[in-house]
Amino acid sequence: MREGRILAGGVPVRLLEAGSGPPLVLLHGADVGSADLTWRPSIPILAERFHVIAPDLPGHGHTPPLPGPPATEAYVRWFGAFVEALRLDRFSLVGLSLGGAISLGFALQNPDRVGRLVLVASYGLMRRVPLHALAYRLVRIPPLTSFLARLRSSAHPLLLRLALRWIVGDPRVLTPDLLQEVAGAVRARGHRSFFYAWLATELGRQTVHTCYLDRLPELRIPTLLLHGDRDRLVPVGWALKAAHRIPRSRLVVLRGCGHWVPRERPEEFHRELLTFLVEPDGAGEQKFSLRT
87: phi > 0 → left, psi -120 to 50 → alpha, else beta; which? left
Measured CA angle at 197 (ends 194, 198), to 5 deg:
85
Q: Residues for the chain: how many in total?
A: 292
The answer to whether residue 132 is catalytic is no
Spatial distance between the Cα atoms of 192 and 290, rounded to a whole number of angstroms: 38
* Residue 156 host element (H or E): none
Q: Which of 68, 74, 76 is nearest to 95 (CA)?
A: 76
Catalytic residue from among 132, 156, 259, 270:
259
Q: Any bridge partners for residue 223, and if so which?
A: 117, 249
pLDDT tier at 160 (50, 70, 90 boundaries)?
confident
Cβ neighbours, 10 Å, residue 25: 25
Find the range with the poorest average confidence among 126-135, 148-157, 196-205, 228-237.
148-157
Position 225: which residue type?
L
Q: Domain residue spans in the chain?
A: 2-130+208-291
Cβ contact 9:66 at 8 Å: yes
Helix (H, G, I), strand (E, B) or coil at 152: helix
Q: What is the pLDDT of residues 209-219, one digit of tens each?
A: 999 999 999 99
pTM: 0.93
Cβ contact 255:221 at 8 Å: no
Cβ neighbours, 10 Å, residue 123: 27
CATH architecture of the region 2-130+208-291:
3-Layer(aba) Sandwich (3.40)
Calculate mean pLDDT across residues 132-149. 85
Q: What is the pLDDT of residues 46-64, one digit of tens each?
A: 999 999 999 999 999 999 9
Spatial distance between the Cα atoms of 191 and 135, rounded to a whole number of angstroms: 20
